[in-house]
């Protein structure tokens, strides 16, 4: 075993709120009332980076107890369901991309499914009016949750007993944890919707949350305990299923016992491709993430983007144009491949992608109307979360999970303590009607019972010489694939440090609306020059995404960097 490497950390004390309370739970070294936030660490044995310092710490503790990256990822994911209710979840879904020490590559699809009673026009009024309120808020917006089935689908790749992995989450829910300034603000902003969209007032309802308050989630602790004791049946059957179905009945939702009992996560072959000698492993359908990343990277591969330079007019314009073209394909061709024949090999074929760039003009914008017709809305920022984990055995795990909107449907299952997703909005509820991220679609992503809605989540692993090099992912709705694209180009082509690759301002084009979304700090001179070339810009955004990345350094150490756009934190040992 290699020696412990001191942590190189930017330490920011965010909570030291209740020193009299002691943590006695199995999260042992993790004190939920006092914790630090490390933005960067370098470690010898393993690393975890996630949206919450407590969740990252839980993961590293599990590795110290003999767990591998899978064990750590499961423990971190379950802890996030408690300490990061915006997006960590039991009532949502997500994707895992993994590379094991044996060399095996897998992806696990635990995306939500449309309930059996769902139908194509369920969000369209008789007069044709689309009801995005119903696809985005409350009971009817929820797909059948996949998270618990997902965890049990990859549990077999871990080493420790499940009870050990879930106990820290149970303790955090039962004994509580102190919330940060950002969490207090986020919960305060949620109060009106919580009161409107819940049939039983959840613990999150309070006159005013302040930094340092302790959040106790007893109902959630009980649900987690049922999962600990009964496995998937602790969620999809029995008491938890009863609570979900009763909640549906009280609130006009349609998820049934059968929907829950029949839910199955799927182990799929990852979507892989090569880029300049690296092997990039991504998520296949029903996420568009892997294929979009493939298309965008291949469209720039032979254009010597390195010589153009980071944030140069040339590189930003080129990347914008490839983003536009990939997203036009997303709207037309991509959806759940179990239901719709997605032409993946055609869309990732080299000749096709070179052909796609035939009308690219480095001197001016290609209007989206030339590539395809459509309508425009502005994308909004919502919530999803990513965790990256690596261990010294050579296992690498990249998981992105989501409830879709921040806190999903904003409906908590009465008596069970967890938020349900509002993932149904990721379907194309009507051809041409944009979802909450402004994405449009048609037949490929139309609602059908049991179908999974198209996603943009892009959990990714990059191999160099067949060994893990980068483990990365981010939230951000449709901006997810473009952010991962830019982060990878920043590292591989622009030779940037890992922090710069993540922290420097990002930009985004998704074909429709035909405008570039930029993040605060994007160079004004480049924006002006692009405007002269015919580009339009959306209102500048404060932050795009929250990327969690681990890079393996040439000396074999793990450099983990947490995004500085949130309370995200890296831990290692
Ligand atoms: O699956 C998707 O693409 C979306 N439901 C992800 C939502 C998301 O990333 C929100 N985060 N900011």
pLDDT digits (tens, 9 = 90+) for 156-203: 999 999 999 999 999 999 999 999 999 999 999 999 999 999 999 999
Per-residue pLDDT tens digits for 389-406: 999 999 999 999 999 999
Strand partners, 272: 281
Three-state DSSP class for residue 322 = helix
Which amino acid residue places its CA nearest to atom 11 of ligand 1? 383
Atom of ligand 1 nearest to the CA of 426: 5
pLDDT tens digit sequence for 421-476:
999 999 999 998 999 999 999 999 999 999 999 999 999 999 999 999 999 999 99
Please tell me the distance from the alpha carbon of residue 114 to that of residue 256, in angstroms, as a whole number: 11
State in Å: Cα 546 to ligand 1 middle. 12
Number of H helices and number of E strands within the chain? 20, 20
Kindly give the distance from the C-alpha atom of residue 403 to the centroid of ligand 1, in angstroms, as a whole number.
8
pLDDT recorded at residue 382: 60
Place of tokens 């032979």: 302
- Does residue 528 carry a pLDDT above 50? yes
Q: Separation of 434 CA from ligand 1 center, angstroms?
A: 14
Pocket residues: Cβ below 6 A from ligand 1: 381-384, 402, 404, 423, 426, 455-457, 475-477, 480
What residue spans in the chain does CATH classification 3.60.20.40 cover? Answer: 268-383+456-572
Structure tokens at 255: 């998820």
**What is the Å distance from ligand 1's center to 477 Cα?**
4
- In this structure, the residue with its CA closest to atom 2 of ligand 1 is 455
Q: pLDDT band at 28, cuts 50/70/90?
A: low
Identify which of 437, 441, 541 to mutate to test ligand 1's pocket (most ligand atoms within 8 A of the CB).
437
For ligand 1, atom 1: residue with the closest CA: 455
Residue 381 CA, ligand 1 centroid: distance in Å: 9
Q: What is the DSSP letter of 187?
A: H
Q: CA triplet 48, 49, 50: central angle to 5 degrees?
A: 125
pLDDT confidence of 205, banded at 50, 70, 90?
Answer: very high
Residue nearest (by alpha carbon) to ligand 1 atom 6: 477
Give the pLDDT confidence score for residue 2 in this predicted structure.
Answer: 30
| Ligand 1 binding pocket mutation candidate from 404, 408, 409, 543 (most atoms within 8 A of CB) | 404
Query: Looking at ligand 1, which residue's alpha carbon is closest to its atom 9?
Result: 477
CA of residue 362 to ligand 1 center, whole Å: 31
Tokens representing residue 402 in the block: 């989501």
Q: Which of 292, 334, 384 to mutate to test the pocket of ligand 1 (most atoms within 8 A of CB)?
A: 384
Atom of ligand 1 nearest to the CA of 474: 9
| pLDDT, position 380 | 41
- Contact by Cβ (8 Å): 11, 38: yes
- Cα 402 to ligand 1 centroid, rounded to whole Å: 6
What confidence category does residue 83 fall into, taking pLDDT thresholds of 50, 70 and 90?
Answer: very high
CA of 150 to the centre of ligand 1 (A): 17
Predicted local confidence at residue 15, as pLDDT: 44
CATH code of the region 268-383+456-572: 3.60.20.40
Distance 82 CA to ligand 1 centre (A): 19
Angle at 401 between CA 558 and CA 341, to 5 degrees: 110
Q: Are strands 507-508 and 517-518 parallel, antiparallel or unpaired?
A: antiparallel
Minimal-distance CA residue to ligand 1 atom 8: 477
Residue 383 has a pLDDT of 77
Shortest-distance Cα residue to atom 5 of ligand 1: 404
- Whole-number Å distance, alpha carbon 545 to ligand 1 midpoint, is 10
Rounded Cα gap, residues 187 and 205, in angstroms: 8
Q: Give the mean pLDDT of 279-308.
A: 98
What is the pLDDT, as a whole number, of residue 372?
Answer: 66
Average pLDDT, the chain: 93
Residue from 291, 402, 428 to probe ligand 1 pocket by mutation (most atoms less than 8 Å from CB): 402
Q: Which are the contacts of 515, defined by CB distance < 8 A and separation ≥ 6?
A: 376, 378, 509, 535, 536, 537, 538
Looking from the CA of residue 425, the nearest atom of ligand 1 is: 5
The answer to whether the beta carbons of residues 380 and 437 sit under 8 Å apart is: yes
pLDDT in tens, 371-383: 863 333 333 446 7
Place of tokens 């590293």: 60
Atom of ligand 1 nearest to the CA of 405: 10
Please give the angle made by the CA atoms of 523, 528 and 531, to the nearest 5 degrees: 125
- Which pair of structure tokens corresponds to residue 211? 């930094």
Helix, strand, coil tally for the chain in percent (to 5): 35, 20, 45
Q: Is the pLDDT of residue 29 over 80?
A: no
For residue 12, pLDDT beyond 50: no
Residue pLDDT, tens place only, 402-422: 999 999 999 999 999 999 999
Q: Probe ligand 1: pick from 94, 480, 517, max atoms within 8 Å of CB?
A: 480
Atom of ligand 1 nearest to the CA of 423: 5
Taking the CA of residue 478 as reference, the ligand 1 atom at the shortest distance is 3
The pLDDT assigned to 560 comes to 98
Give the integer Cα–Cα distance in Å for 215 and 186.
Answer: 13
Report the catalytic residues: 384
The confidence band for 14, taking pLDDT boundaries of 50, 70 and 90, is very low
């Amino acid at each position: 075993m290699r020696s412990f490497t001191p942590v190189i950390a930017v330490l920011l004390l965010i909570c030291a709120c209740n020193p009299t309370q002691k943590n006695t739970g199995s999260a042992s070294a993790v004190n939920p009332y006092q914790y630090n936030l490390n933005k960067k660490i370098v470690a010898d044995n393993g690393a975890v980076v996630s949206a919450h310092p407590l969740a990252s710490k839980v993961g590293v503790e599990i590795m110290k107890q003999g767990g591998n990256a899978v064990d750590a990822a499961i423990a971190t994911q379950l802890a996030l369901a408690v300490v990061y209710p915006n997006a960590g979840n039991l009532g949502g879904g997500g994707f895992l991309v993994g590379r094991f020490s044996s060399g095996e590559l897998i992806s696990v699809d635990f995306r939500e499914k449309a309930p059996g009673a769902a139908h194509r026009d369920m969000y369209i009024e008789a007069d044709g009016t689309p009801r995005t309120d119903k696809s985005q808020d409350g009971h009817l917006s929820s797909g059948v949750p996949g998270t618990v089935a997902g965890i049990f689908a990859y549990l077999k790749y871990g080493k420790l007993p499940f009870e050990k992995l879930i106990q820290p989450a149970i303790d955090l829910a039962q004994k509580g944890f102190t919330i940060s300034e950002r969490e207090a603000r986020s919960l305060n902003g949620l109060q009106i919707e919580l009161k409107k969209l819940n049939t039983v007032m959840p613990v999150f309802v309070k006159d005013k949350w302040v930094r340092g308050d302790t959040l106790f989630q007893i109902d959630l602790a009980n649900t987690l305990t049922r999962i600990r004791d009964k496995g998937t049946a602790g969620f999809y059957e029995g008491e938890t299923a009863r609570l979900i179905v009763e909640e549906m009945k009280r609130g006009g939702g349609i998820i049934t016992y059968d929907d829950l009992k029949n839910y199955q996560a799927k182990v799929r072959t990852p979507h892989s491709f090569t880029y300049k000698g690296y092997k990039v492993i991504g998520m296949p359908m029903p996420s568009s993430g892997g294929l979009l990343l493939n298309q965008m990277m291949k469209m720039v591969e032979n254009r010597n983007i390195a010589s153009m330079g980071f944030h140069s007019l040339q590189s930003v314009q080129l990347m914008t144009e490839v983003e536009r073209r990939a997203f036009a394909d997303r709207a037309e061709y991509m959806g759940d491949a179990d239901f719709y024949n997605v032409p993946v090999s055609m869309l990732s074929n080299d000749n096709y992608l070179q052909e796609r760039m035939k009308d690219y003009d480095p001197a001016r914008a290609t209007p989206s109307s030339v590539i395809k017709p459509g309508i425009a809305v502005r994308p909004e920022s919502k919530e999803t979360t990513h965790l990256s984990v690596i261990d010294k055995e050579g296992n690498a795990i990249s998981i992105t999970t989501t409830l879709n909107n921040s806190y999903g449907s904003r409906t908590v299952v009465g008596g069970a303590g967890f938020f349900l997703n509002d993932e149904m909005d990721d379907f194309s509820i009507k051809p041409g009607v944009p979802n909450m991220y402004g994405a449009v679609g048609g037949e490929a992503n139309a609602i059908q019972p049991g179908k999974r809605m198209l996603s943009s989540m892009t959990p990714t692993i990059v191999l160099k010489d067949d060994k893990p090099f980068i483990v990365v992912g981010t939230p951000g709705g449709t901006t997810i694939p473009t952010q991962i694209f830019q982060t990878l180009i920043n590292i591989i082509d622009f030779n940037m440090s890992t922090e710069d690759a993540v922290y420097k301002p990002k930009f985004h084009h998704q074909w429709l609306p035909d405008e570039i979304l930029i993040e605060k700090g994007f160079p004004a001179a480049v924006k002006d020059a692009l405007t002269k070339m015919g580009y339009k810009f959306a209102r500048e955004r404060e932050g795009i995404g929250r990327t969690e990345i681990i890079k393996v350094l040439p000396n074999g150490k793990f450099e983990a960097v947490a995004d500085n756009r949130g309370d995200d934190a890296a831990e290692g040992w």
